[in-house]
Structure 1
Amino acid sequence: MDMFNQAGCGEKRFISPCYRAALYMRLSRDDDGEGESSSISTQRKMLCSYAMENGFDIYKEYVDDGYSGTNFDRPAWNQLLRDIEAKQVNLVITKDLSRLGRDYIMTGQLTEIYFPSRGIRYIAVNDGYDSDSPWSDIAPFKNIINEMYARDTSKKIRSSFQTKIKEGAFIGNFAPFGYQKDPEDKNHLIVDPLAAVIVREIFQWAEQGEAPARIAERLNQRKVLTPALYRCAGRPYLNPDSYTKRKEWTSGTVCKLLSNPVYLGQIVQGKTAKVSFKSPMTFRKPREEWVVVEDMHEPLISREVFDRVRRRSVSRKNPPETGFINIFSGFAMCGDCGRNMSSTGTGREMESRKLVCGGYKLYGKRECTNHYMDYRLLYHVVLNEIRSLLSFTEAEMKEIDEMLREPYNIKENPVEKKAADSLKKRERELDRMIGRLYEDRVNERIGEDRFCKMLESWDKEVREIRQSLALIQSPCLSGEQRKPAASGMLSHLLEEISREDGLSSELLGKFIEKIEVFQSSKEEEGGKCRKYQTIRIYYRMLASTEDPDGPA
């Protein structure tokens, strides 16, 4: 563009280029502490006034409210870059250099390389910086100072978080499934009566030997909300698509829940750390560096139940194509090193399978010996042991049947009852309010638009309340419904184990804590070599049974 125009007798008059100005404003939580001077409204007034005084046409305003200066992935900033590439703007104005960012390398690249290469003039009003001015050498030093401010703020925040973590204060954005943040202390967790019912039920199923995939299937059949969807349901401002791609329970979700020590009343934090305050990348810290603080809130699960579930956790993977399922997974353990026994062999029949120490299978003799155990033999030994324990007279069967019925006469959970009563009370209030709303509309006390908005809001709350009530009432059957199922329980168990294929992981979960398998030994008897192997069965409801001299 010709910058000069002849005007009369040799007189030269300067013509200002036509600038299309982009006003960029940014405010982070850290900057908010600086006071009113950094607020978006103040930035807008300052930039608009500056543009008008200098005759710059304002193309568009770009606002990133609540974004850190160390993060350059900001929605309004990205839009500004797209408009620059489309040649929609040729002038960028900010309050100061720190509004661009607090990373001196990135900010320097923008002011020294990117803007000049795109023909963009850049002005930072308060810093007196103008890229068209020859007196702008102070900019790199300003950028360094801005980064030092961000670095210092990051250290203070990190130090504050570390103090809270060591004290056991919960610092997560959202409470884990089964809990909610205490309204009086956001760093303390209290039981969520709705979700806690589901958590306890999942642990109960897992304790009985149910595979995570089967648990997920049962939850999906009952249309129970996943943790992510449950979180979004109570917060309309959250987009479920941003939190979960699959809107259903999976074995991975169940496994993650079953391994979370938060349900023991523990707070486990400090699992990850950021590479740098300027980078969003994180790395996972070794388990020994995690911060574990016990007894910080009410536990949902006892330590005994949690440990049993972890010991007998079933693989998340689908059963192999052979169709063989190891029912002793999580029950059979090496009697020497304590590792789980692993199945080996091919085919779907028990005859072709053996159990071997997991340590030996992974690392060989330097870890443990093989502890080979014929799978079919162990199956029949355990089945016969359970059969012998369940051989009773008719009078004993009747007495035990009554005892088994008793635990199912469970009293109503007071926490669930309180939550249900509160929800029902709110539902009645909303019904009355909706009734009065219709009266006000008929009498023309409120307008159509306001009526529709209020009705939609209250109807939505009523639907959410009814869903919550259904969630409280549906997971567990009432005591009256349980009684018929409990009646004849012992007879059903006896019928089940009388079959040749009567053993299952569910049945083992009802009776057996663990099975220890020891290394076999050979002895000479009458010129013949005999193999002996010790098996110890630990029962859940009975005393531990040990038969060290019994061959298997």
Structure 2
Amino acid sequence: MSPEYQAGLYMRLSRDDGAGESASISTQRKMLRSYAKEHGFVVYGEYVDDGFSGTSFQRPAWERLISDIEAKRVNLVITKDLSRLGRDYILTGQFTEIYFPAKKVRYIAINDGYDSDSPLNDIAPFKNIVNEMYARDTSKKIRSAFQTKIREGAFIGNFAPYGYQKDPVNKNHLVIDPITAPIVREIFERADRGESPSTIADALNQRQVLTPAMYRCIRHPYLQPAEPSGRKGWTSGTICKMLKNAVYLGHVVQGKTSKLSFKSNITLSHPKEEWVVVKHMHEPLISQDVFERIKRRSVPRKNLRETDFINAFSGIAVCGDCKRNMSVTGKKGKPRSYRLVCGGYKQYGTKKCTSHSIDYDLLYETVLKEIKDLLDLTKQEKEEIKRKLRQSESIKKETFEERSAAPLKKRNREISRIIGQLYEDKVNQRISEERFYEMLASLEKEQKEITAGLRSLTERNAEREPGEQVQTCQGEELFKEISGERKLTRDFIGKFIEKIEICQSREDVHEGKCRRCQTIRIYFRTNGPSQEE
């Protein structure tokens, strides 16, 4: 017996090592226990890192073992072989050659015949190098396989984007999440109506809707929410990222980042032109038109702090020469007066453009007059348009809750069909009973989530019914805006106008008098440009 030794039995298995019987945790445990019993070592504890790579020593069980060594509770470490300790030959060598001897800890790797108490250990450094070469080769193969999957449009992320979940039948395919998909659609619909990201975030926070990070932690209890800023609510930054994410168009966008090397946790970001985009790989949550409208509008994250001023021409008014967006600036000595200036000139000076600018109120009145002239209709024509708008709105009465329900019902039918097929496969012994119950549990769990989602959508739709009268008055609201009873909004302008080009002002001499003129080109959505001087 060797009572002076308190042994720590360390076991590790990563996905890269495979799940074969020879490397499994259970096999390692039997081997280590048998070895300790045979040699009379007292086992202080067992330390298991299942699913952790050997290229990093940031593993929970390993860190616990080191703590016990520091506390002098363990003075003998036993592993199946040197590769279980680690596959980074530099760090592994530091532990075997420096750390363990300094702490008076004996180390034994059974299959490699390594015992730190034996003088015949010269081959150990070479075995550590071979172990790292194996890890390096495995890393290259895995990376190559991932690149192939990425090019094919297979989703390889650890977690599905908010609004989706991984298909239980195919983990590389995304399906709509019945719980969060309605929230995503609501965010895009609010942005399409002209609401700013901060306003949308405030509305979600008031309803205590879980953020993507918090929802992910609920779906995966082993995760801990990381909120370094201390904020656990929705922010305008989160909303902006979602509004720019093409995954909601049904596209898979990957290759945004990569690891520096297989031994490093440093992540490198790649420019947008290097991203891999594979279109139409799953069911979209929003239409291309809505996505483009929101993108074109370039809704700002927040309004000016000092005033309640909102630029109705944001993302619509552009410079007639360099085509950059016109940005808002104040007038000296006039606190509530604004003008639009060329973004290129404002940021880069004459290197990019000239000093295009226009008085904001002048542009506002000009555009309003053009729209009124375009819609200078008789009373009978207005009533006819209102009638058609009401008809159109009654068709659009299908709320986003109802539109969200359609794919959920479709998925529910698919699951019922898959479950029926599973039973048939089980009876015909095409799948094992263990696999059958595993897939059945997953599908039934998804069906329960869909049922809960449909119930929630029905309740929310019922709550909207009292506001139905407001919905049917959009035609009247449209004419109120045109007639000047309400201010022009970004949303209203976007319905009529594609873009507005502001050209450089010039001086003309007319009848002996010098006057300043400026060309404004208004591109309506249904016609060519309208030109105003």
Q: TM bucket by the smaller chain?
A: 0.7 to 0.9
Query: Are the structure 2 counterparts of residues 400 and 32 from structure 1 closer, same or farther at C-alpha, using a change threshold of 3 Å?
Result: same
Q: Which moved more, 1:294-303 or 1:239-248?
A: 239-248
Query: Are the structure 2 counterparts of residues 484 and 411 from structure 1 closer, same or farther at C-alpha, using a change threshold of 3 Å?
Result: closer
Distance in 1 separating the partners of 2:164 and 2:60: 33
Name 2:225's counterpart in structure 1. 241
The reply to whether residue 419 of structure 1 matches residue 403 of structure 2 is no
Query: Are the structure 2 counterparts of residues 283 and 199 from structure 1 closer, same or farther at C-alpha, using a change threshold of 3 Å?
Result: same
Deviations 1:276-314 (A, max 9, x none): 100111100122221122232333333332222112122
Distance in 2 separating the partners of 1:180 and 1:462: 13
Name 1:341's counterpart in structure 2. 326
Task: Judge conservation of contact 1:25–1:43 (CA < 8 Å) in 2.
Answer: yes
The offset of 1:66, in angstroms, is 0.7
Aligned-partner SS, 2:34:
helix
Query: Are the structure 2 counterparts of residues 185 and 209 from structure 1 closer, same or farther at C-alpha, using a change threshold of 3 Å?
Result: same
Task: Judge conservation of contact 1:411–1:479 (CA < 8 Å) in 2.
Answer: no
Show the 5 A alignment for 1:205-220. 205-220=190-205
Distance in 2 separating the partners of 1:212 and 1:398: 36
Distance in 1 separating the partners of 2:40 and 2:192: 74
Distance in 2 separating the partners of 1:359 and 1:210: 26
The one-letter code of the counterpart of 2:164 is: Y
Deviations 1:309-355 (A, max 9, x none): 11212222453335443232222111222211111225896763221
Query: Are the structure 2 counterparts of residues 509 and 356 from structure 1 closer, same or farther at C-alpha, using a change threshold of 3 Å?
Result: same
Name 2:524's counterpart in structure 1. 539
The offset of 1:475, in angstroms, is 5.8
Query: Which of residues 136, 148, 155 is equivalent to 1:170?
Result: 155
The reply to whether residue 376 of structure 1 matches residue 365 of structure 2 is no
- What value does the CA root-mean-square deviation take over the aligned residues? 3.1
Aligned-partner SS, 1:18:
strand
Distance in 2 separating the partners of 1:383 and 1:231: 47
The offset of 1:96, in angstroms, is 0.9
Q: Which moved more, 1:485-494 or 1:406-415?
A: 406-415
Query: Are the structure 2 counterparts of residues 340 and 112 from structure 1 closer, same or farther at C-alpha, using a change threshold of 3 Å?
Result: same
Show the 5 A alignment for 1:225-264. 225-233=210-218, 235=219, 237-239=221-223, 241-242=225-226, 246-264=231-249
Query: Are the structure 2 counterparts of residues 238 and 112 from structure 1 closer, same or farther at C-alpha, using a change threshold of 3 Å?
Result: closer
Name 1:443's counterpart in structure 2. none
The offset of 1:416, in angstroms, is 1.1
The one-letter code of the counterpart of 1:519 is: Q
Q: Which moved more, 1:164-173 or 1:324-333?
A: 324-333
Query: Are the structure 2 counterparts of residues 241 and 485 from structure 1 closer, same or farther at C-alpha, using a change threshold of 3 Å?
Result: same
The one-letter code of the counterpart of 1:28 is: S
Task: Judge conservation of contact 1:314–1:329 (CA < 8 Å) in 2.
Answer: yes
Query: Which of residues 262, 270, 282 is equivalent to 1:285?
Result: 270
The reply to whether residue 23 of structure 1 matches residue 28 of structure 2 is no
Task: Judge conservation of contact 1:22–1:58 (CA < 8 Å) in 2.
Answer: yes
Query: Are the structure 2 counterparts of residues 16 and 225 from structure 1 closer, same or farther at C-alpha, using a change threshold of 3 Å?
Result: closer
Distance in 1 separating the partners of 2:508 and 2:336: 25
The offset of 1:492, in angstroms, is 2.7
Q: Which moved more, 1:415-424 or 1:279-288?
A: 415-424
Aligned-partner SS, 1:19:
strand
Task: Judge conservation of contact 2:356–2:505 (CA < 8 Å) in 1.
Answer: yes
Deviations 1:78-121 (A, max 9, x none): 11111111111111111111111100000011111111111111
Q: Which moved more, 1:213-222 or 1:194-203?
A: 194-203
Name 2:187's counterpart in structure 1. 202
The reply to whether residue 106 of structure 1 matches residue 106 of structure 2 is no
Name 2:36's counterpart in structure 1. 51
Contiguous gaps of at least 5 residues in structure 2: 416-444
The offset of 1:381, in angstroms, is 1.4
The reply to whether residue 320 of structure 1 matches residue 305 of structure 2 is yes
Distance in 1 separating the partners of 2:86 and 2:487: 68
Name 1:139's counterpart in structure 2. 124
The one-letter code of the counterpart of 2:15 is: R
Task: Judge conservation of contact 2:178–2:450 (CA < 8 Å) in 1.
Answer: no
The one-letter code of the counterpart of 1:241 is: P
The reply to whether residue 73 of structure 1 matches residue 58 of structure 2 is yes
Query: Which of residues 77, 81, 87 is equivalent to 1:92?
Result: 77
Distance in 2 separating the partners of 1:407 and 1:348: 48
Distance in 2 separating the partners of 1:326 and 1:71: 52
The offset of 1:500, in angstroms, is 7.6
Show the 5 A alignment for 1:396-435. 396-408=381-393, 409-410=395-396, 413=402, 416-417=405-406, 419=408
The offset of 1:485, in angstroms, is 2.1
Query: Are the structure 2 counterparts of residues 142 and 71 from structure 1 closer, same or farther at C-alpha, using a change threshold of 3 Å?
Result: same
Task: Judge conservation of contact 1:62–1:80 (CA < 8 Å) in 2.
Answer: yes
Distance in 1 separating the partners of 2:288 and 2:447: 38
Query: Which of residues 15, 18, 26 is equivalent to 1:32?
Result: 18
Query: Which of residues 47, 67, 70 is equivalent to 1:62?
Result: 47
Q: Which moved more, 1:489-498 or 1:245-254?
A: 489-498
The offset of 1:161, in angstroms, is 0.4
- Paired positions, count: 498
Task: Judge conservation of contact 2:178–2:449 (CA < 8 Å) in 1.
Answer: no
The offset of 1:529, in angstroms, is 2.1
Distance in 1 separating the partners of 2:217 and 2:457: 18
Deviations 1:237-295 (A, max 9, x none): 35462589644322111111110112223221111111010011110012222112223
Query: Are the structure 2 counterparts of residues 323 and 419 from structure 1 closer, same or farther at C-alpha, using a change threshold of 3 Å?
Result: closer
Query: Are the structure 2 counterparts of residues 305 and 461 from structure 1 closer, same or farther at C-alpha, using a change threshold of 3 Å?
Result: closer
The offset of 1:196, in angstroms, is 3.3
Query: Are the structure 2 counterparts of residues 38 and 52 from structure 1 closer, same or farther at C-alpha, using a change threshold of 3 Å?
Result: same
Task: Judge conservation of contact 2:89–2:132 (CA < 8 Å) in 1.
Answer: yes
Higher CA-based Rg? 1
